[in-house]
Chains A and B, each alone.
Chain A
Amino acid sequence: MSGEAASGALAGHGAEAAQAAGKAAEQAPGLMDHLPALVVLVPFLAAPLVVLLGARRLAWPVTFAAALFSLAAALALLSQVLGGAAISYHIGGWAPPLGIEYRIDAANAFVMVIVSAIAVAILPYARASIAAEIPARQHVLFHALFLLALAGLLGVSATGDAFNLFVFLEISSLSTYVLVAMGAYRDKRALTTAFNYLLMGTTGATFFVIGIGFLYMSTGTLNMADLAQLIAQQPGNRTIHAGFAFILVGMGLKVAMYPLHLWLPGAYSYAPSAVSAFLAATATKVAVYVMLRFLFSVFGPAYPFEASALGLVVLPLALLAMFAASFIAIFQVNFKKMLAYSSIAQVGYMLLGIAMLSQTALSGAIVHLFNHAITKATLFMVIGAYVLRAGGAFYRDIEGIGRVMPLTSAAGVIGGLSLIGVPGTAGFVSKWLLVQGALEKGWWWLALLVVASSLLAVVYVWKGIEVAYLRSPRDDVDRREAPLAMLVPIWVMAIATIWFGLSAEWTVGAARTAAEALMHGASEIVISGGVGR
């Protein structure tokens, strides 16, 4: 870490350049100092590289290597910031607030670990899955898009600049629209779904960028840390209020907050299986992170407009999501759609943790990001294996499949239990924290509602288990277990679901530090890489 005080920004240009040159000569910043940029940059560069190489055999190894690098980098960054510090990296050597800054603290490092870990777990699975679902001539483009989506999601997490965040949000969204549309090779409805997703997603992004515009209008800055300071100085500013509302609604669309969720069931159901798994585990999680960042770091719980917005709007909607979406999930006849509605309900839990405005509940929401990501990745990968063998995700396609594919289905049961929140699975840990957060505030009714909504999850998970185990298998089903390349990632995720349910210290510890960083800021800021001008 070649940290140096940001006072260098005040030095004259020539002297500064000479100083920087001298510093580069004596102690050039190493690879580790550039990690905040490289974690995003490597998958981003790998995407055009895959297209340029154009060889189908090279596409997967390059993609996997890039995802692995991002995971290693994200883990290294997380270990550096778990003490409570934040790393600041100045892109192009321009010091913030004028330049674009990447600022890594425990919250976004944690999200980056989730995103890159899921990518690493899903890629080996995707190799087998897309071979069956996407024609070979599109594989190169599939990998390029996957990398762009990954880079976009990591970029959204890494950046400390509000407009840069919007750009990365668009990079990830545009590539996911196309990834969803690639499901059209199996089911043409993926095309209309992707178009629907495009319209809703773009509306969300537009609301978001209008909100950013309002903030920029009143403060003249786009740097989030700078925004936070300037917004705190003008609590009664109507323009900032409007900006807040636009950002909340825009991200609400991306998060799939209950009445704004209509794009989600279709997108998750008709996308190729590997894409469903990746999206369900990462895309909404990153959007929730953006919401957290704006609600807690940029505006802050002390912002007068915020508590009422969260209490009167987000809290009821979160509760509505938990019940209504779970209820809809019960009546689905398609496994993927059922899981998609369950995702909307689970997003409700995260929003609930946000809306309670307490540190325990917030860490509950953050740990639920992680736990729900691994749970949903397990389940969607299981469904993908069913689709491969049974040809569809409708309940009638997979009747009795638990006897034909025992290993895959057992992993599915573990995922289902975690979805309910059975003790010993990851889902329990986060719900426990949420209940604790509610009890801390004395809102025992809320704790009861969390438990009650879990009962709805019992119903839809049981329905899935009943279809898979208690009915007799169809005769025309391909009577084979899923290929090993799919089974191994499925079981890695299933074991992770149990592992993080039994030993929750690491995840809960990281989530608590992240909540601390979001609510109170970092204890110190370390400048990584070269110093800004």
Chain B
Amino acid sequence: MRHHLILRVITKILAGTIMLFAFYVQFHGDYSPGGGFQAGVILAVAFILYGLVFSVETVQRVMPPWLVHRAMALGLLLYAGTGVAALLLGYNFLDYAALNAHDPEHGQELGILLVEGGVGITVTAVMLSIYYAFVGRTPVIGDEEW
């Protein structure tokens, strides 16, 4: 890819823009189309594009596989943890009204923001780990191993 100057320059410009767009979709998810799933995929696209143009090793220096695995778990914990927080505050599991006792609707908004954040983190991580799994595939199984 060394001589693909245009590709490299455009990728560098686009990667940041794509990430920004991902956050736009993420934070508008609670009152317009979008949300954690879509934002997560878009954010992962920025990394995957970077990986395609500048090699997997380069992108794995920014986003090492161990971090991707941890992020997968972290997002899920953020989602479920929001539910558990409501439970600990004396409400039912996932009842976001608990997050703001004075104004339940603000609690709901905060709850959905946190939950969508968790979804976004997990989806990004899962997309990346699928990409890593494909590009970093181990050699096919030899005949003698069967």
Contact = CB atoms under 8 A, between A and B. Distances in A.
Contact of B92 (A34, A48, A144, A191): A34
Interface string B123-139: 00000000000000000
Contacts of B23: none
Interface string B67-95: 00110111011001101100101111111
Contacts, number: 81
B80 A188 contact: no
B96 interface: yes
Given A45-B80, A51-B73, A91 B94 contact: yes
B69 to A, nearest CB: 6
B91 to A, nearest CB: 5
A93 B73 contact: no
B31 interface: no
Contacts of A144: 73
Interface stretch (A21-29, A291-299, A455-463): A21-29
B64 interface: no
Give the interface size class of chain B.
20 to 34
A451 B74 CA distance: 54
Looking at chain B's contact residues, the main secondary structure is helix
B97 A52 contact: no
Among B83, B84, B90, B145, chain A packs the most CB atoms within 10 A around the CB of: B90
Among A47, A54, A93, A189, chain B packs the most CB atoms within 10 A around the CB of: A93
Contacts of A91: 92-94
Contacts of B97: 17, 20, 93
Among A38, A48, A530, chain B packs the most CB atoms within 10 A around the CB of: A48
A61 interface: no
Contacts of A37: 87, 92-93
B11 to A, nearest CB: 31
Contacts of B77: 45, 48-49, 52
Contacts of A48: 72-74, 76-77, 80
B70 A54 contact: yes
Given A21-B101, A48-B76, A92-B94, 10 more contacts: A37-B92, A41-B84, A41-B93, A51-B69, A51-B70, A91-B92, A92-B83, A92-B92, A188-B145, A189-B146
